[in-house]
Amino acid sequence: MSDYLKMSREELAEEFKSVRHEYEHLRGLHLSLDMSRGKPGFDNMDLSGEMFDLVGNDTGFKNISGIDCRNYGGLDGLTELKTLFGKILGLQPDQIIVGGNSSLNMMFDTIAQAMTHGMGGEPWCKQDGLKFICPVPGYDRHFAVTEYFGFELIPVRMTPEGPDMNAVEELVKDSKVKGIWCVPKYSNPEGITYSDEVVRRMARLKPAAGDFRIFWDNAYVVHDLYDEGDRLLNIYDECLKAGNPDMPLIFASTSKITFPGAGVAVEAGSPNNVAMLKDRMKYQTIGPDKLNQLRHARMFRTVDDVKRHMKRHAAILRPKFESVISELVKQLSDTGIAKWTNPRGGYFISLDVLEGCAKRVEQLCANAGMILTPAGATYPYGNDPLDSNLRIAPSYPSVEEIKKASVVLCIAVRYAALEKLIAEKA
């Protein structure tokens, strides 16, 4: 492709004519496509169909400790799942709390607890002007939790190695800064895995707030698209070495391993943190759904079981990601109007278009029957100051749909860029 930024006004007008023609053609197809949310597809969910046969009258309801999983009892989950997640996350089983179907819920509850009961210090709701660090682009539902609780959300830009640690190190000198949201492996939306250097600097932070916490949402810990997955340093080990064992709170879930709505979520951390969380949870709940935990425990007896399962997911997801990337390359390479990531795992691709064009691309796509995650969603308060970032979620539609959607997306990106460039030259 030619570099749009070097085109004359006439060349731009010519290109726009052709792009507009193509766009109108696509619009005429009355497509109905959706790349807005990170939802697994039917075929992904079908991979876990056997789970329904693993707990029933024929199989019994007892876990390896002999607990009848139908009844009350057990606050922190089945022992075999603590062992399994411990191995996956590089932690001891007793550092793991296995919860219900939503790790977001565990993050929310942890912050809610800190609001009313503190995080080892004064309750956060008794303090004013609290702040939370939000690497951008990032996950809208993380940001929304801290927005709900009244934090000022401080964006920090992502680098190809993770959050800009110079900025983070500077920000934590402010005792009002209470935490940071991290998706350290295959980040949402860029698919970036934090480098060893970033993890180490994170672990060595010396925050002014003694109750500062790293919310380490390892949502895609086993979600590799290729045989060779990204490698992420163990944040707990690094924090322990740095004398900060209580700083990280680590989360994971099977939402994208088994079922988004009926998976099993995990929160983990230092013995201190786990004891504090359990002491609070005992007031909150009768305990998690142990039958659903038992289904998971019987399906995944070893980490190898999980890995095998994730390879089957990858076989379904990889062509979807590659379809998007290949269309981006085909239509947008060397145009100078778009940059994107090429993740080796996770659920998203991040696309940066010309400044001021993201909302327009979203609108053009919508008019052609294709729903994108709202532009801006990857920034605190839904406000991308450059109006440039778009999150592409290729997991839910079929490969055929993805291919069509990618064509629409790229045409829309070119359309919006040409509009802008032509207006600038007018």
Q: Which residues bind a second copy (CB under 8 A)?
A: 37, 39-40, 42, 45, 49, 52-53, 55-57, 61, 68-74, 100-102, 104-105, 108-109, 112, 115-116, 123, 125-126, 144-145, 147-149, 255, 259-262, 280, 283-292
Find the shortest distance in angstroms from Cβ 285 to a second copy: 4
Cα gap 176→82, rounded to integer Å? 34
Q: Which of 302, 94, 313 is nearest to 220 (CA)?
A: 313
Opening angle at CA 32, ends 29 and 34, nearest 5: 140
Cα gap 412→132, rounded to integer Å? 34
Find the shortest distance in angstroms from Cβ 118 to a second copy: 11
Q: Give the residue with the Cβ less far from a second copy, 116 or 166.
A: 116
Contact, 293 vs 264, CB < 8 A? yes
Q: Give the residue with the Cβ less far from a second copy, 80 or 352.
A: 80
Q: Give the residue with the Cβ less far from a second copy, 115 or 268.
A: 115
Q: Give the residue with the Cβ less far from a second copy, 83 or 292.
A: 292
Q: Give the residue with the Cβ less far from a second copy, 102 or 159.
A: 102
Beta strands (DSSP E) in 176-311 are 177-182, 213-217, 248-253, 265-268
Q: Give the residue with the Cβ less far from a second copy, 297 or 411.
A: 297
Find the shortest distance in angstroms from Cβ 251 to a second copy: 13
Which of 319-329 are b and which e, b meaning 16 or more Cβ less than 10 Å from the residue's Cβ? bbbebbbebbe
Contact, 218 vs 254, CB < 8 A? no
Cα gap 159→115, rounded to integer Å? 31
Find the shortest distance in angstroms from Cβ 110 to a second copy: 11
Find the shortest distance in angstroms from Cβ 298 to a second copy: 13
Cα gap 384→208, rounded to integer Å? 29
Find the shortest distance in angstroms from Cβ 102 to a second copy: 5
Task: Extract the tokens encoding 425.
Answer: 């030259």
